[in-house]
Structures are given as structure tokens and as C-alpha cells.
Structure 1
Amino acid sequence: MREGIFGTLTLFMVLLTLLPLWKHPVWWVRSWDFPRLQLCSVAFGLLIGQAIFFSHAEPLRVVTIALCALCLAYHAWWIIPYTRMWRHEVKPALESEDHPRISVMTANVLTPNRNAEGLRALVQEHQPDVLVTLETDAWWEAQLSSLESAYPYSIRCPLDNLYGMHVYSRFPLENAETSFLVEDDVPSMHALVVISEQLKVRMHFLHPAPPSPTENDSSTERDVELLIVAKSVKDDPGTPIIVTGDLNDVAWSANTRLFRKTSGLLDPRVGRAMINSFHAKYWFLRWPLDHLFHSHHFRLVRIGRLPAFGSDHFPVLVELQYAPAPEQQSLQSDADDEQAVAEKVAQKDASAEDVPEPEKR
């Protein structure tokens, strides 16, 4: 009986491990990119159970144990870079106070959530320079109007479809623009954040729709939006750049890695922590959906997940120091990556030329 249970669970684990290798964008395939940490835990539990209950002398049991170990190692390979066992991709900030800083807080509010006071309290406590809110509708816009004195510059796009977006900034915003890059009802925002006369940061705020049975049937729309932004910023290596938002993809997915390779942007979580921002209400189902990537012009002051305020996402706060370090390197792309990007982008009527470049206007 036990052998049958463990054998079935092992075969199921092997299936879930192999399924994401199929590059099909359909949601029920791509959704298994997300729970790498959970699958690691299940594979480890199976190994412990087999070690306790079974003798390792029989060949079939040895094969079962080996398959579990391989699954565990494979999933761990994806997530270990987001632990302290990996080297930092982004250098820590310099002790000198002479270098400008910018802090960015992203908060997917969950439109039906009505705890606006909870979010306002977090903003008051942490006082980010730039606040990005996602899923904000007209009600949320009205509730956040009290922030206008501290954040006099803003971009607003209230929507009732779970894709409303607002950006509030202490710093002036130049050439701010709201775009619908891939889908007509899914906005993105783009602006030049003016920290000083000498320092302006190109920022892109994104929230593409996820692959799911209630959203898009496939990941194509999400993937294309991320990749055309990646191609756009790749062509602007001299400008300080930040891309942030709820990308509806995990840090370790193949497409996020392709975004990093194409854009050349850095991930401050590498070598530090996963920063699992979703799901705030279920501790056993959490993964990193809210991201901030940046160019080599910045070093990391701090990064962290803030307390929940009623949404299904935790807010995330990142503070960066402007201290260019060209030796900081992201993942490197090759010819196969470039071909993969071209094939994905060709599936939609969109291109990197559609992405606003606020510093060039």
C-alpha cells in the first residue's frame, strides 16, 4: 500500500517537474513555473518518507528515490539564486551619503479590498519616494487623494477591470505617459523621474495580465509585454533605468530570465531573498510576483516585504543608491535567446518601438 502511494506521488512529481519544460504558453502549463519552492518541499518530504519506511535494497525503490532526488535538485536549481547561498547580483550601497537615493514601493491593492487606511499608514511609515499602486479604481484614487500633498506628481489610470494603475511621486515626472502596449484594457506607465538636475531616471511601471483560466488562456500577452520593454531598455545602456510592478510571473521563470537577459537589468533579490509577495493570505502558497529590476547605475540600500493590509499581495519596498558600477552583470543572452524573443514578440502586433522612451522625447 505504502509503495503504491509513494510510487504514484513520485510519478506525479516527475510529471509536474517535466511539464514546464514544454514551452507551450497555455495557462495550465505555465502555472507550474510558479510553485518551485512548494514542489521542492513536496519532493523533500517524499524523500524523507521513503527513507523512513522503505529499504533501499530493491531496485524499484532505488529508482523511486533517485527520481525524487532529481526533482528536488531541479527545482532547487531555479530558486537557490534567490537565497543567501548565492552571490549578490547587486552590490550593497556605499556608506557615503553623497550618492542620491530613490525608494520605490509597489502595492497591488486588490480592487475589492477596502482597507485604504492600512495602505496609507504604510506609506506614512516608510515614506517611499515613488508609490506604485495596482488594481486601483476610482474609489481607491479618491481614498489616496490625501497623499497628494506629499506626492504632488502623479500618473493616474483608474479602471474597474483589476488593471487600474497609479503612480505617486515626490520627484517631478517628465514626459509621463500611459500606454496600452499589448492589450487594449491593460495599461502600463512610463516616465522620467527627476531626482535632480543631474540625475533623471527612466522608469517603467507594468502590470501585464497573467495566464489563468479567469484571465488570458496563455502567457503570450504577458510575455510579449515584458519582452518588448526589455528590448526597449536594452537599447539605452547609458540611462539609469528602473522597471517595476506586478509582472504576474515569478522571478525564476524562463520568461523572467529571458527578460533579464534581453534587458541587461539587474535583480536585487539575487543572493538575498525571494521576497514572496503573493499570496498574502496563504503562507503555503507564496511566490515572488512583484518585482523591481534596474540598470547597473544603482546599488542596493534595502529591499523588503511590508506587512499585509487586506490585499492578496504584500507591498514591496526597494531603496536604491545611485552609484554606477558597470561591473555588475545580469544574465547574458545568446543567439538562442534572441531567437526566442523574436518568435514570442512576433505572436502579437507589438514591438519595442511601441514602448515610450521618456528621456528621448
Structure 2
Amino acid sequence: MTTDQRSWLKLASVLLPILFSVPLVLGFFGSFHPALDAFAHFRLHLAVLMVVSAIPALFFGLWREGLMAIVLALTALATILVPSPAPSAEAGAAAAVPASHPEYKLLQLNLRYDNRSPGEVIRLIARQAPDVMTLQEVSNDWRPRLKAIEARYPYTLYCPNRSHIGGVAILSRRPFALGTTPQCVGSLIGLARIDFGGRSAIITALHLDWPWPYSQPRNVKMIVPYFERLQGPIIIAGDFNAASWSQTVRNIAAASKTQSVEGLRPSWFAIGMPDFVTQWIGLPLDHILTSDKIVNPRVETLPKAGSDHLPMLLRFSIGGVDNAGPDQQTVMLHD
């Protein structure tokens, strides 16, 4: 290796980590502009690339530069990998559910509009037997297939198609709460208050567009007023097309007074990508948010079912007494 070659490699070992650090740092300022939040979705990937690209600097004796880059990357990783503090004993006692409160199941899945293995989805539903389902990309091809299971899930809400990929839908074995009317907000969200054995909860199916420069910021601006008006137990499930640490998810959680129960679970992957690859480099785009009246929520990611999104199964109970008043006052929304 010539002296010039070595000099260029040393320069590259310093510049590459700097190159990755720029979008990594900008992603922490998503509250200032959606363009910056777009970088946040790739925080995990950028941080890993920054660590890898900083290692050659150590071999060239550039210890200060290499270690500074690695420390910055690991600090960024800590913001998404370090688990939240465990709830206190008092909080745990407050969230405890009496044995008389049954447990229910919600299945969340982006079906993929052109799913080539629809039978896998139907078999998944039969195996899990969820009480309610929140679905996205319910295209025209999916409507007759879902019609076949409506004998088991007779309470349905289908929202308008968003182009050829379809809209969102809610399918439930449990009836809609008496006196309430399910509602769609365009093709973005479907809302239905469902009666779970005398205790009701608002179930929301959501599908946002891609991040900036696409329409996701406008989507959030449109739906936040609806979430701000909801009261009582709430579950928001869907394909957010946004990472759990993004400003997009934080804005929706703040407006609806909910929090994520899923943690870091990569759920999106390119068609044909093996599951083990998805677990490491997939993006966590599918989320389930719950309010404090949804108690003991637990989410597991299920094996793929022909879609480029993994199914998510939420187990939950409904605790406390809904003091928001009659059901019709908390669900019936108008533009």
C-alpha cells in the first residue's frame, strides 16, 4: 500500500462515520420539520452503519475520531434499545385485572393488496380466533375472501379504497356498542366502539402514507383532531409507516393519550426476505397503542402470512369503569 493510498483510506475512515452521523443526528429533531423526522425511521440502521464505518479508524490509529463516532452511535442506539423502566408496584396494582375480567385478542395485519397466499391469512385467522381484527390494504381482491368469514365475524367496517391498494377494515365477532355508529375518516382510519361482554372499547384501524416528502405529515394533521376527542378505553392498531420512536408515532400517541405496547419489533420486510433477516434489518412500522383502561396488554409478532408485514396479536383485558358517559357520546364523530 502506497503512502497516498493509506492517506486516502485514513481520510475515508473519518469521513464515512461523519457522513452517517448527519442524518442520524437530524432524525432527533423531527419535531421541527417532517423532513427531519423522515431520517428518524432509519435511526437503527444509521447507527449500526456508523459503528461499522468507524472501526477502520481504530486500525489506522485514529482512536479519538473512531471512539467518538462509536460512542455517538451507541448513544443513539440506546434511545431505542434501552427498555422503559418497569412500572412501580403501585402502578402494577392499579392495573391489575380481577379474574372476572376476561382476556380478549386483537389481530393486526397489513394484508398486502396483492397477497399471493391469501389462504395463509385465512388459516392464521382460524388458528388464532381473534375477537377483533384491524386490517390494512383491503383491496377489491380481498373483499370476497373476507366475505367468506363474515359468518364468524359479522360486525364489519370497510373504509374506502386508497387507490388500488384498498382501505382499512375492522372485523369483529363482538357486536358494536349499542347506540354507536362505526366511522371512517377517509381511507386513513376506521373507528368502531365494540362491546366486549358489557365493557366497550374504541378499536381503531389505521394506515398512514409514507413519510415526508409523501403525505404522512398531512395524514397526521388530519386525524389528530379525531383522536383528541376520543374517550374511554382505546386501541389503535395499524401500519403507521413510521418507526415507534418517530415524531409521527409520538404525535398520535399524545393526541389519543395512548402508548405503544410493542417495543422494538421489526414488522416490515421486502417480499421474499427470510424471517431471520427481517428480525435484524426490518423496519418497525406496525404498531398497537393502548390507553390506560386497556390493562395487561401483551403483543406477540406472528410468522408471516404472505404479506410483507408480519401479523401482530394483542392480548388484553378492559379494566375500570368508563366514566366518559354513554357510548354514543364517545364514538360518534363528525367532520
Q: TM-score higher than 0.5 here?
A: yes
Matched, 1:232 2:233: no
Between stretches 36-45 and 113-122, larger displacement belongs to 36-45
Letter in 2 for 1:307: P
- The counterpart of 1:177, out of the listed 162, 165, 182, is 182
Matched, 1:222 2:210: no
* TM-score normalised by L of structure 2: 0.81
Matched, 1:166 2:169: yes
Offset of 1:359 from its aligned partner? Answer: 6.2
- The counterpart of 1:71, out of the listed 65, 70, 73, is 73
Task: Write the distance in 1 (CA, Å) between the matches of 2:153 and 2:192.
Answer: 15
Between stretches 297-306 and 131-140, larger displacement belongs to 297-306
| CA root-mean-square deviation | 2.9
Distance 1:288 1:295, change over 3 A: same
- The counterpart of 2:37, out of the listed 10, 26, 30, is 30
- The counterpart of 2:49, out of the listed 30, 36, 42, is 42
User: How big is each residue's C-alpha offset from its partner over 1:98-130, in whole Å with a ceiling of 9 and x where there is no partner?
Assistant: 113221111111111131101011111111111
Distance 1:91 1:143, change over 3 A: farther
Q: What is residue 142 of structure 1 aligned with on the other side?
A: 144
Offset of 1:49 from its aligned partner? Answer: 3.8
Letter in 2 for 1:288: P
Task: Write the distance in 2 (CA, Å) between the matches of 1:91 and 1:105.
Answer: 25
Offset of 1:280 from its aligned partner? Answer: 5.5
Q: What is residue 4 of structure 2 aligned with on the other side?
A: none
Letter in 1 for 2:185: F
User: How big is each residue's C-alpha offset from its partner over 1:168-226, in whole Å with a ceiling of 9 and x where there is no partner?
Assistant: 10100143433335xxxx342111101123x111222221222266xx2x532132145
User: How big is each residue's C-alpha offset from its partner over 1:64-107, in whole Å with a ceiling of 9 and x where there is no partner?
Assistant: 43134213312421x125x4x74359959858531132211111
Gaps of 5+ in 2: 1-7, 323-328
Q: What is residue 268 of structure 1 aligned with on the other side?
A: 261
* TM-score normalised by L of structure 1: 0.75
Task: Write the distance in 1 (CA, Å) between the matches of 2:139 and 2:109.
Answer: 13
Between stretches 315-324 and 220-229, larger displacement belongs to 220-229
Number of residue-to-residue matches in the alignment: 307
Offset of 1:313 from its aligned partner? Answer: 0.7
- The counterpart of 1:119, out of the listed 118, 121, 124, is 121
Q: What is residue 200 of structure 1 aligned with on the other side?
A: 200
Task: Write the distance in 2 (CA, Å) between the matches of 1:313 and 1:287.
Answer: 10
Offset of 1:263 from its aligned partner? Answer: 2.8
Gaps of 5+ in 1: 327-355
Distance 1:49 1:301, change over 3 A: same
Offset of 1:155 from its aligned partner? Answer: 0.9
Letter in 2 for 1:25: P
Q: Is the 8 A contact 1:35 1:285 kept in 2?
A: no
Q: Is the 8 A contact 2:259 2:289 kept in 1?
A: yes
Identity, % of aligned pairs? 22
Distance 1:255 1:325, change over 3 A: farther
Letter in 2 for 1:277: S
Task: Write the distance in 1 (CA, Å) between the matches of 2:69 and 2:140.
Answer: 52
Offset of 1:4 from its aligned partner? Answer: 2.1
